[in-house]
Structure 1
């Protein structure tokens, strides 16, 4: 059973028949999600992929309101469908520990299907049982069609039937927003919200609305031309097409990566990185986070460690992953994750 979402002011409303459950989606946030799903599914260069994200908003009894979102990192360890590797799960754990946007809470998550129906996959059930089953949260499966519509299925957890069973509600179909309407809504949101929040920022690309095969072919040609231009620019920047003085300048420039290396000897964890990555900017906050099977420890770095690029941590339990995060006064953010098993391979 499928129905169109009713539009009320700035929200698309889904109302379950015969039930008090009501979900209101911010039109701007849902359009951002729709464009992301469309690009992952129908992209010219890397299409046919699923994506996932956290949903933020408010809840009052049976009324849910989805106001923002944040993409879940995915390295596609099992191909095109949305699935998580060990590193992806570590990053998702960190995201779930972050503070939600002001005035909001985590209300659920979503995953898009590049093809097929909207039933939950075994991987999606596993992800929900591991990361989202502690409290009642929504799970929404989505599929972006070639015409631009977004089909959605609402899955409501049933805590009385463990481990995780869902009641699938009638599907919801959402039509694309027009370009002018989207840009106006994004501008209004930007004026209200603090800049730089990933889960609230509008997508840069306008994304397709209703398209034809001719439009797709024309877009593919533009992408090819743009790719050649980017390749030429990259060759210039690396010095291959640059004069010697520019190559020398790039060699002397600070690296963009922290180049982190970790080692554990059973009693102490050694963390090394390249402090030149943030040279020229004063670090405002920096921390090392050690994550293991039954522990998580966060250490704020002191000025001496930041200057030397080295930290020794008394730690008997061997962590599985270490996250190094540095934010500078100029707004630059550097973040790297290393898994200990990979770092100690010879």
Structure 2
């Protein structure tokens, strides 16, 4: 294993040692950064399956595949019932992917854009249901400024518990492109990594073959014995090839840098989030299609009702729009158009509980009638109470008069 192509996560407290490909780390960085840019405040969290191999207590991460999340419960990586069904189908489907031949699921990763490197209750639930093997791991990634990212692995202890409060060891992602430079096209599983080395380097270091490979020697050199040894010409040839290879790699790196610098700002990154009963429609106001737009619109399908909201450049620059939803199924399609008529579209969907329906007119009428009846009953009882009080007072006065008369009669006797 080359240190330039793999990283190592190993701590005394952990029963698992993890080796991770820097190419995969770069793919995870791109996935997390893309989600981080989608909303103006904290972005959305993303996740994916980690594929690789296992040898005893050592796990090697060699590939990853994103996990689909509709974010029905907000920007956090919380899987809905629909997401869980999709993940349950994805795991066996990935086994048929020829690029993952010979690899197994060794765990998963997710990003935390609003919290630290810990595992929440929902994270632990996903870990327990979909990645239950004792050696399967979880990696939490925390994005920062200018593409910097911290991460930490979580593993199961010998008794099956998970110390979810913090990772045993956090680490920073290496510099961007550190693993991409060594990336080559996919090769069949089981092929040795050293086959990535160019053939002219292998031949110079390999021992001489048992039999000469005459077919590889040009005929012009076979005809004249002294010309068989021409190391200066061969060296110049390989020198020029090496220089051309350096130029090609430099151009590829420059192109990749440009592509990665621009790819995260191109999507509109439309998202819908419920807050306090209102639907917040948000998009990336820094995206080029939004910044260059002369006009825009939101087509909202709220249940069976459809509405179109026209957006001015000022509204597009705000990056959000508030909508009072009527049902629990809302589909939003955003269209932006620049001065030349070039359009860009994105759609997002919200699924959740329907808002509480307001009381009908008949219900309000019945409630008012019941209120009036109760008020009339209270007034009647109050009047009866006043009448009874007056009667009691009258009887008390009569009683006092009778008592006074009885006292006078007794004195006369």
TM-score (norm 2): 0.43
Q: Which residue of 2 aligns with 1:105?
A: 104
Give 3-state SS (helix, strand or coil) of 2:145's partner: coil
Give 3-state SS (helix, strand or coil) of 2:286's partner: helix
CA shift, 1:76, in A, is 0.9
Match of 2:56 among 61, 66, 69: 61
Q: Is the 1:35–1:208 Cα contact (8 Å) retained in structure 2?
A: no
- Aligned 1:226-265 pairs, distance under 5 A: none
Q: Which residue of 2 aligns with 1:157?
A: 156
Q: Which residue of 1 aligns with 2:260?
A: 207
Q: Which residue of 2 aligns with 1:74?
A: 69
CA shift, 1:136, in A, is 3.1
Q: Is the 2:135–2:156 Cα contact (8 Å) retained in structure 1?
A: yes
Match of 1:222 among 274, 288, 294: 288
Could you say if the C-alpha distance between residues 106 and 223 of structure 1 is closer, same or farther in structure 2, counting changes exceeding 3 Å? same
Bigger mean CA deviation after superposition, 74-83 or 96-105: 96-105
Match of 1:39 among 34, 39, 47: 34
Q: Which residue of 2 aligns with 1:132?
A: 131
- Aligned 1:167-316 pairs, distance under 5 A: 168-178=167-177, 182=180, 184-186=181-183, 188-190=184-186, 192=187, 206-208=259-261, 220=286, 222-224=288-290
Q: Root-mean-square deviation (CA), in Å?
A: 3.7
Q: Is the 2:26–2:177 Cα contact (8 Å) retained in structure 1?
A: no
CA shift, 1:42, in A, is 3.0
For structure 2, the residue ranges without an aligned partner over 5 or more in a row are 190-255, 265-284, 298-413
Give 3-state SS (helix, strand or coil) of 1:220's partner: coil
Q: Which residue of 1 aligns with 2:3?
A: 8
Q: Is the 1:57–1:107 Cα contact (8 Å) retained in structure 2?
A: yes
Q: Is the 1:41–1:48 Cα contact (8 Å) retained in structure 2?
A: yes
CA shift, 1:153, in A, is 1.3
Aligned partners of 1:154, 1:73: CA distance in 2, in Å?
Answer: 21
CA shift, 1:159, in A, is 5.4
CA shift, 1:82, in A, is 0.3
Could you say if the C-alpha distance between residues 118 and 16 of structure 1 is closer, same or farther in structure 2, counting changes exceeding 3 Å? same
Q: Is the 1:56–1:108 Cα contact (8 Å) retained in structure 2?
A: yes
Give 3-state SS (helix, strand or coil) of 1:207's partner: helix
Could you say if the C-alpha distance between residues 125 and 222 of structure 1 is closer, same or farther in structure 2, counting changes exceeding 3 Å? same
Bigger mean CA deviation after superposition, 13-22 or 148-157: 13-22
Aligned partners of 1:206, 1:62: CA distance in 2, in Å?
Answer: 38
Residues 278-331 of structure 1: CA deviation (Å, up to 9, x unaligned): xxxxxxxxxxxxxxxxxxxxxxxxxxxxxxxxxxxxxxxxxxxxxxxxxxxxxx
CA shift, 1:63, in A, is 1.6
- Aligned 1:327-346 pairs, distance under 5 A: none
Q: Is the 1:57–1:106 Cα contact (8 Å) retained in structure 2?
A: yes
CA shift, 1:230, in A, is 11
Q: Is the 1:58–1:107 Cα contact (8 Å) retained in structure 2?
A: yes
Q: Is the 1:74–1:82 Cα contact (8 Å) retained in structure 2?
A: yes
Aligned partners of 1:127, 1:40: CA distance in 2, in Å?
Answer: 20
Match of 1:22 among 17, 26, 31: 17
CA shift, 1:220, in A, is 2.5
Could you say if the C-alpha distance between residues 193 and 40 of structure 1 is closer, same or farther in structure 2, counting changes exceeding 3 Å? farther
For structure 1, the residue ranges without an aligned partner over 5 or more in a row are 1-6, 195-202, 212-218, 232-346
Aligned partners of 1:222, 1:25: CA distance in 2, in Å?
Answer: 34
Q: Which residue of 2 aligns with 1:248?
A: none
TM-score (norm 1): 0.51
